Amino acid sequence: MSRERRYEDPSHRYVAEFASPWRRAAAAAIDWGLLYVAFLVLSIPLGVVESLGAISNEAGDLGGRPGHILVVAAQLLMLTPAVAYFTIFLPTSQTPGMRVMELRSVAMSTGRGLSRTAAGVRAAFATVAAVACYAVFLWSSSFEKTALDRTSEILLDAAYLIASAAFASALVMSFTPTRRSLADRAFGTAIVDDLEPVAPLMGPWGPLNAFDTSSSRRPERELSA
């Protein structure tokens, strides 16, 4: 494996390979599949709230403002599982999907997961990108396209722009040696695979090292024979 395809932990604990696009895609499919299920479950009670808000808005109760607020609040709350999911898991360096595929998301400068703040910002960006891609898909695949008001047209144009950026990010990830997307480069992260200890603690069946790559900076756990 060439050096440009290898990541070296700044603390000199391990070296790793940059994860391949297909393994990243598999991990992402698991994560977003779980989030889609959460979205469906949450959409039931929030859908009721949104419907009540829409009825109140159309009826003009108190000028329609409370109903409008309910509609917007319900729509925003449907996105909270995705933001919370990545905000919680990225600092540990592994989402459930990454854990299944044995990948880790680490900051290039530390070799560990993102801080909670950085993870929250990235989670928000990832959620917006996912919503934009979903909106573009729904609009592009619909057979009957109804006329849109000015606000909806602006939002759809923004969705196409964000979805195009996401597509470009995936292309950069697929065709560069480090397999880092534009989002990875913006947040200074990399998705790595096959961690190997620099100074392995050997046992009867090979290295016994276990790497703690969470952002909490706890001491690395080592297994003794």
Q: For 164-206, what is each residue's pLDDT tens digit?
A: 999 999 999 999 999 999 999 999 999 999 998 887 776 666 5
Range of the domain at 66: 3-207
Contact indicator for 209, 200 with CB cutoff of 8 Å: yes
Residue 127 lies in a domain: yes
Say how many domains are in the chain. 1
Whole-Å CA distances, 121 to 8, 15, 87, 109, 175: 26, 27, 8, 18, 26
Residue 55 lies in a domain: yes
Average pLDDT, the chain: 84
Round to whole Å and give the CA distance between 22 and 28.
10
Residue 218 lies in a domain: no
Residue 124 lies in a domain: yes
Could you tell me the pTM of the whole model?
Answer: 0.82
Residue 222 lies in a domain: no
Residue 18 lies in a domain: yes
Residue 135 lies in a domain: yes
